[in-house]
Structure 1
C-alpha cells in the first residue's frame, strides 16, 4: 500500500484536532473533499503511538486522547467524578451487554422496577440513547449505548466488554452472582451489575 500524502496526513490531523467530537472516516473524507483518509488515519495512529496523546478509534469514530499512563496529570483535583447510583450502574451494564433493550427487559434482568429518571441520567451523561421502538404490542422504547460510552470506558466496540471469566479473575463476581450465572447461563446478567461496580 502506498504511503499517504503528507499534506493529507496533516489535513486529517488538523481536522481531528479542531473537531469538538470524534469523527468517522466518512465524515473526515467529506470534510476533506472526498479524500481517502483511512491510510492517513493509520499513519497518524502509528505516529502518535507511545506519545503523550494517542489517536484512537472508538465505535468507528476517531479522536485524540491523552495517553492512559498520563491521564492523572490532567485531572483537576477539584473535579468530582460523576457518581452513578447502583440502579444506574446496573441499568447501564444491562444495556451494554443486551442492547437494544426496553425498560421492561431491564427490570426483568434486575428483578426490580427501574425509574424513568435512572435512564434519563444515563442519557444526559451521553452514554445511552433511544434506539427506536420494539415491534411488539405497546411498542416500548428501546435503549442502546453510544460512541461516547465506548470512548469513556476505553472500548473500541462492545465486543471489548469483559466476559464472565475476566470478571471472575478480577475478583468482581460475587459468589452468589457467579452461581446464579452458572445455573441460568446468564453470563451478561451477572457481568452487568459487576462491570458497573468499578465506577
Structure 2
C-alpha cells in the first residue's frame, strides 16, 4: 500500500468512526506496518486538506476525530429545531468545581458551593460519563476523590484540561463550561436525529450540547451548610 492509499484509508476510518480513534487504533488499520510518526504526518496532511471545509480534524483526549466547525453550528441546528436538553445550575456548578479543582471530595464541593450537594447530582455526572472516583482521601471516613474523565474532554472537544479557560471564580467557571457545552461541535459520524427529546427540568437551567443525554433535576432540598 502506497501513502496515497494509506491516507485514503485513514481519512475514511476517521470519517466513519463513531468515536475518536487513538494512534493505537489507527495502526490496526495497517496491521502495525505503519509507525506512529508516519501516522502523525498523514494526520497533519489530512488536517491541512480539510482546513477550509465544514469539517475539521481535531485531536481530543481519546484520539482523533472529524467534527463540525463551531461557526457552522447555528446552521446544523436548523436540521433539529427542537430545544436541546438542559442542565440545572446546581449540576453545572458541581461539574465546574470538579473540573477546575480536581481531585475533590464531596465535602470540598459543598464548602465551595455553600450548600449540601445531593448524591443524585454526582450520580448524574457519573452516568453521563463526565466524572469518576479516582481514589480516596486519607482522612476520617476516607471520602471519595472525584475527577473528570476523557469523555468529558471529548464532549467539549478538548485534548487536555490545560485547554479549559483560566478562571478563578466558580460562577465564571460554571458559565464558561455551560458555553463550551452549548457550542460543542458535532462529530461527523453522528446524526442530529440521535438527540434525545426528553423535556428539560423546570428549575433554573442552562443549555448543553444537543447530543448529550438529559439529566434530571437535582434534589430541590438543598440546604445551606452550617
Matched, 1:85 2:88: yes
CA positional deviation for 1:94: 0.8
Q: Partner of 1:58 in structure 2?
A: 60
CA positional deviation for 1:132: 3.5
Deviation digits for residues 84-130 of structure 1 (CA, Å, limit 9, x no counterpart): 11110111111111222222221122121111111222223332233
TM-score between both structures, scaled by the size of structure 2: 0.67
Counterpart contact for 1:61–1:147, Cα < 8 Å: no
Secondary structure of 1:101's counterpart equals: coil
Q: Partner of 2:146 in structure 1?
A: 143
Gapped regions of structure 1 (runs ≥ 5): 165-186
Q: Which moved more, 1:187-196 or 1:140-149?
A: 187-196
Counterpart contact for 2:54–2:69, Cα < 8 Å: yes
Q: C-alpha separation between the residues in 1 aligned to 2:46 and 2:29? A: 17
> Whose helix fraction is larger, Structure 1's or Structure 2's?
1
Name segments (4+ residues, structure 1) moved above 6 Å: none
Count of residues paired in the alignment? 174
Counterpart contact for 1:97–1:188, Cα < 8 Å: no
Q: Which has the higher contact order (CA 8 A, sep 6+)?
A: 2
Q: Which moved more, 1:38-47 or 1:84-93?
A: 38-47
TM-score between both structures, scaled by the size of structure 1: 0.75
Gapped regions of structure 2 (runs ≥ 5): 180-206, 208-226
